[in-house]
Structure 1
């Protein structure tokens, strides 16, 4: 049965695999395509198999089958990496090589090069579900200044720069992750400037408010939960507070891009928050950005649904573009 599921999922994605083998793509999302806990991603010529099961042992027996299937179907693969998301040992969560040489250190998307460190953390250092947002940023950020909060490895900021943004600030508490943003910047020919700001979110916001800084665009992509002495991030309980905290940093008619990836938060709750913001008269919801089909699964491959209905979004990663109106009509200062 698993072989059949993998075959159907690969067939649905076959047209998305480029002959250059430089892209990043989800080959199988078991949460929706018939094997909960199993996720298979492609990063250039590296196959990354992620075991999200609790406990991990429940999927151990099928892991060799998965690697064998893809090595036969995609004989050009050079490396296979296995991550056990809920393993006790940190090294197993970060990933071990199952076959081949070292994992890929770079992918290309829409002509933009992004640096990778696939064993940086339990995730992959590159988020496939925001691909359409990166496309939007490439197409719409020419000449703009952008603040990327919770930038992590900075892919959204790099996409904005690739689209001609004149100035991007990448801020995150994780210096190691931000180093990948710097590598990505160096791997591309970009006309705009980039500032790396390794700082707690709440400190960073206060820093720019003290400078009376205004950006053409602000990206808010927080983790599900984090807590520092400066404040707490909790997408289930204080997401609207985070939005209101960064809203004063957006120039008149500027763009605030907000992302909420809380799995158990329904899309209706996110829309209620956006409607409450709209009722103030200073926030205008403009567009919802869908998640690509290789992440959500295709009509012919989807078997299971998310635990909370994300509609009107198409995935628990819920992305919205908000147009900001200011009483003072102030333009960007950066």
Structure 2
């Protein structure tokens, strides 16, 4: 295994157990290629850990402090522990068989996401190093997931597919179904792995969907940025009298209609609306609902876009509050990693002031427990939400 060395005083990330080391800290001491697994030594030449090398600002992604662990042994250990953790959390079970198996840094595998849908594991490589170790990853999943996971599908992020010719999507080894079927809280879902966003579904909102479903009996619900309607289906299952699902994507709404039929709830309680959410909310005569949900895609993926994202969150949620009946509830979410929990809270304070409504916070919401967070990597805590009563 090749080696890289850190400049003097630049091993602070290792001391703090943060999995990222930036390029300014790294001294290249021998020829090295994108995605190589390397031993990382300090300025004195003492070996400290091993990780993946990338020619980018995050130059090293630390994997383990065991410098003697070979690649397959590392993946056997990492995936074995990940499966054990999900098993202890109750995944899979009779009502839910879709869950996150590997959550990047949260499972000591920076650059890798693995989601399971029924008996299919979808592997999403975010770095070329992870793609180079795909065979090892697949072997460990097949070994430790035997009897539960029958198919492996690789779906690397778009930027990797654009940059490297050998990075492609598709099943590994055995061919599986084009459309996977799975359950969440007893609700049936299906997803076309090639066409769907992310790995196929937004699993991080599972617990929040269940919460809103439990509050929906006899209520009217407005689900903004509904995508394929996870919140909408939970609200209908929970006994909502009316659900309006709003999204700008025609394909997402079409898939929602398929899922409504699949669950025998495509009736007059539900309406699908294809519209730009911000424009749809901006009306002088707003329709009022008992529960309003705002769950937009990330408004900012870099620090330089954070200010404009915060302003967008404020304006959108101020408008959404105008659609909440007095005493009703607003559930507002952000998945923008660069917008932290306190900043998002402050943004909703500003939205409440702009709306002129009185607001009480009753729920502070997160990603599900299968989306484990490395305590030394606060960047992994990306999903945040507030459940509020709006008077």
Normalising by structure 2, report the TM-score.
Answer: 0.71
Deviates more, 1:12-21 or 1:60-69: 12-21
Determine if the alignment matches structure 1 residue 5 to structure 2 residue 5.
no
Structure 2 unmatched ranges of 5 or more: 1-73, 301-306
Matched, 1:70 2:146: no
- Which structure has the bigger radius of gyration? 2
How far apart, in 2, do the equivalents of 1:119 and 1:234 lie? Answer: 31
- Over 3 Å counting, the alpha-carbon distance change for 1:245 and 1:281 in structure 2 is closer
Per-residue deviation, 1:66? 1.0
Query: 1:49-104: per-residue Cα shift (whole Å, max 9, x none)?
Result: 01112xxx222221111111111222233321111112244999993222331155
Question: Given the alignment of the two structures, is residue 317 of structure 1 paired with residue 372 of structure 2, yes or no?
Answer: no
Deviation at 1:118, TM superposition (A): 2.1
The match for 1:152 among 227, 241, 260 is 227
SS at match of 2:155: strand
Q: 1:237 and 1:3, CA in 2 relative to 1: closer, same or farther beyond 3 A?
A: farther
Deviation at 1:192, TM superposition (A): 6.4
Distance 2:351 2:299 in 1: 22
Per-residue deviation, 1:115? 2.7
Distance apart, 1:133 and its partner CA: 0.7
The CA distance in 2 between the partners of 1:19 and 1:196, in whole Å, is 31
Structure with the larger RCO, 1 or 2 (CA within 8 Å, 6+ apart): 1
1:87 to 1:277, Cα distance in 2 relative to 1, 3 A: same
Q: Deviations over 1:145-179 (max 9, x none)?
A: 11111111111111111111111111111111112
Shift of 1:39: 0.8
> Does residue 130 in structure 1 map to residue 227 in structure 2?
no
Distance in 2 between the 1:290 and 1:319 partners? Answer: 6
Q: Distance in 2 between matches of 1:131 and 1:285?
A: 20
Match of 1:286 in 2: 362
TM-score normalised according to structure 1 size: 0.82
Q: 1:261 to 1:136 in 2, by over 3 A?
A: same
Indicate whether 1:79 and 2:151 are aligned.
Answer: yes
Aligned pairs (5 A) from 1:295-310: 295-297=371-373, 302=374, 304-307=376-379
After superposition, the C-alpha distances for 1:199-219 in whole angstroms (9 at most, x for unaligned) are: 11133224xx35541111111
Mapped contact 1:37–1:51 kept (Cα < 8 A): yes
Q: CA deviation at 1:34?
A: 1.2
TM alignment of 1:1-334, pairs within 5 A: 1-15=74-88, 16-18=90-92, 23-53=97-127, 57-76=128-147, 77-85=149-157, 86-89=159-162, 95-100=169-174, 101-190=176-265, 193-206=269-282, 209=283, 212-225=286-299, 235-277=309-351, 282-297=358-373, 302=374, 304-307=376-379, 315-325=381-391
Cα pair 1:93 1:122 within 8 Å, conserved? no
**1:93–1:174 Cα change, 3 Å:** farther
The structural deviation recorded for 1:20 is: 5.4
Aligned partners of 1:237, 1:170: CA distance in 2, in Å? Answer: 24
Task: Measure how far apart 1:113 and its partner are.
Answer: 1.3
- Structure 1 vs Structure 2 CA RMSD: 2.7
Tell me how far apart the structure 1 counterparts of residues 95 and 242 of structure 2 sit (CA, whole Å). 31
